[in-house]
Amino acid sequence: MQLARYFPILRWGCHYQRHQAMHDLMAAVVVTCMLVPQALAYAMLSGLPPQVGLYASMLPLVAYALLGTSSTLAVGPVAVAALMTASAIAPYSAQSPALGLQAAVILASLSGMVLGLAGILRLGFLANFLSHPVIAGFMGAASLLIASSQVPVLLGLHARGDSILTLWQAILVQLGQAHPATTLFSGLALLFLLATRRYGQPLLQAAGISLYWAQVICRMAPVLLVIAGILAVQGASSWTAGVATIGRIQPGLPALALPSWHASIWQSLLMPAILISIVGYVESISIAQSLAIKRRERIHPDQELMALGAANLAASISGGQPVTGGVSRSVVNTDAGAQTPAAGLFTALGMLLASLFLTPWLRDLPMCILAASIVVSVLGVFEWHVFSHTWQRNRSDFCALLATFLLTLLVNVESGISAGVILSIAMHLYRSSRPHIAVVGQVPGTEHFRNIERHAVAVCPEVVTLRVDESLYFANARYLEQKVLEVVADQPTLKHLVLMCSAVNDLDGSALEILQLINRHLSRLGIGFHLSEVKGPVMDLLQRSHFPQQLHGHIYLTQYKAYEALSCVPASSG
């Protein structure tokens, strides 16, 4: 069983049945059809030869099927990872395409090692520090960057830019030289894709096709477009002259090899590899969990890290680019009926057959058609209303969102994500460093105690009760001390101070130190210091430090008992 924990294939493989195989095979056919053009497109987006995308869609899928815990996650090249790969290897691609390819393979290797190591060290929780606004801001910027990078391809231009601003400047300057046939092709492709996305399914259903098949056909729209594009180029060669096509794809299978050793390249790609790993992991685990819950299955985050790590190492030794779990393909895989990770194995087989037999035919595929499908897919995924939504809900979340978005868009992914994470953490720490501390009084006739500023409650001049609405730790302990000192300075009649700890979930060493300090301060003034409603784990901590023995007062089980003992409650006549 221990082995099955690290190789989940042992768990489902033993009971694999024929009817499952039929479903998996069916799903694999659908996913393969989708993956061929996507693999080519994402290789192009990364600035790599088209076969690199195909290579990244074989062995990585096998590796994930052996180690992954999701039944239906579809691994392979994805848009965001491809964009990040493009920007990481850009300095090397500029020197020579071969060096760029080497860098991509090294990046996959590094990314595999980072993910694997994170899995072994159980660091999956680190991804949680990418808060929702940071992810949203990053995805928004990434989709704009990806779409912008495809605009020159759509127009048949050679515009380049180091940043999105210089790129658009170059595009606008060269706009007059746009290639007419390419632009026409692109326009038609965009129109077709947007139309099927919007009207395809209802139209097909109106034509009497079932919902399921209508959905499948609509998802195959990019494949249909690819076929149409190839046929158009082959059939009307005079008319399509000058339309850039993929060109010769090296046929056959990848040669397995270790990535080449250039210490300086490995070193410079470490940071991008870490970022690709984090972003890829977050994308992958989110979709995997959301699909698993539908089937009431469990995803093991640390095992997922190792599976994705293995997939990237597999990509690396087979000459592929970095991979991760893709959102759209995983959804299609699930909807098409995939039952087990075997669907991934069949998809890998499908990609192998495609690489062997389809490559001569794909050479006439116009690049602008791939670009159009990239643009429509990335702009369709991102929800722009997240900006107004977040603004209405929470201003500090909005700051993190905007900072991540702008810095990712205008500077780079590293600064965008780091700024977002640091801002989120800083704002969280700021909030928890100034906890809500209320002076509470007794709701007459009850055993309840409420904020004296919000409720009509009875207070007793010699006893002040403070309720701290936060766990106490170093960043807010001194704030509590300050509040206590203010109460003491303002109330000359004070004889007892009660700290109501019903909301204190935890206490660290610094907070304990401050409680002892408050105790010393108050005992010197002859003021009693009491605690009430202390939770079990916090009480354990206090006991271990001998605080209760030092306390110039008592620890009461409930606030009411404290009030009773400090004779604030008139003795009941019963």
Question: Which residues in this chain contact a second copy in the complex, by CB under 8 A?
Answer: 125, 127-133, 289-290, 292-294, 296-299, 301, 390, 393-394, 397, 424-425, 428-436, 469-471, 473-479, 481-482, 485-486, 488-490, 492, 503, 505-506, 508-510, 512-514, 517, 521, 524-525, 535, 537, 544-545
Specify the residue, 166 or 543, whose C-beta has the smaller distance to a second copy. 543
Count Cβ atoms below 10 Å from residue 546 Cβ, excluding itself: 10
The distance of closest approach from Cβ of residue 217 to a second copy in the complex, given in angstroms and rounded to an integer, is 25
Question: What would the two tokens of residue 361 be?
Answer: 């035919």
Q: Residue 5 or residue 158: which is nearer to a second copy going by CB?
A: 5
Q: What is the DSSP string of 446-502?
A: SS-EEETTTS--B-BTTEEEEEE-S-B-HHHHHHHHHHHHHHHHH-TT--EEEEE-T
Cβ 427 to a second copy shortest distance, Å: 9
329: Cβ contacts below 8 Å, ≥ 6 apart? 31, 34, 35, 38, 74, 76
* Beta carbons of 341 and 64 less than 8 angstroms apart: yes
Residue (246 or 306) nearer to a second copy, CB: 306
Q: Which strands, in side-by-side order, build the sheet including 437-442?
A: 449-451, 437-442, 463-468, 496-500, 528-532, 555-556
CB of 205 to a second copy, least distance (A): 23
SS3 439: strand
Nearer to a second copy, 449 or 479 (CB): 479
What is the tally of helices (H) and strands (E) in the chain?
27, 8
**In terms of C-beta density within 10 A (0-12 exposed, 13-18 middle, 19 or more buried), how is residue 363 classed?**
middle
Q: Which is nearer to a second copy, 100 or 420 (CB)?
A: 420
Helix, strand, or coil here: 556?
strand
Residue pair 369/82 in contact (Cβ under 8 Å)? The answer is no
CB nearer a second copy, residue 148 or residue 545: 545
Instruction: Tell the smallest beta-carbon distance from residue 157 to a second copy (Å).
Output: 40
What is the separation, in whole angstroms, between the first and last Cα of the chain? 64
Strand ranges, E, within 192-251: none
CB of 298: closest distance to a second copy in angstroms?
Answer: 4
For residue 17, count other CB atoms closer than 10 A to its CB. 9
Least distance between a second copy and beta carbon 289 (Å): 6
Closer residue to a second copy, CB minimum distance, 274 or 358: 274
Beta carbon of residue 537, minimum distance to a second copy (angstroms, whole number): 7
Report, in Å, the least distance between residue 323 CB and a second copy.
22
- β-bridge mates for residue 75, sequence order: 325
Task: Give the shortest CB-506-to-a second copy separation in angstroms.
Answer: 7
In the bound state with a second copy, the residue whose beta carbon lies nearer, of 130 and 221, is 130
- Give the residue with the Cβ less far from a second copy, 259 or 301: 301
The residue to which tokens 């901590």 are assigned: 541
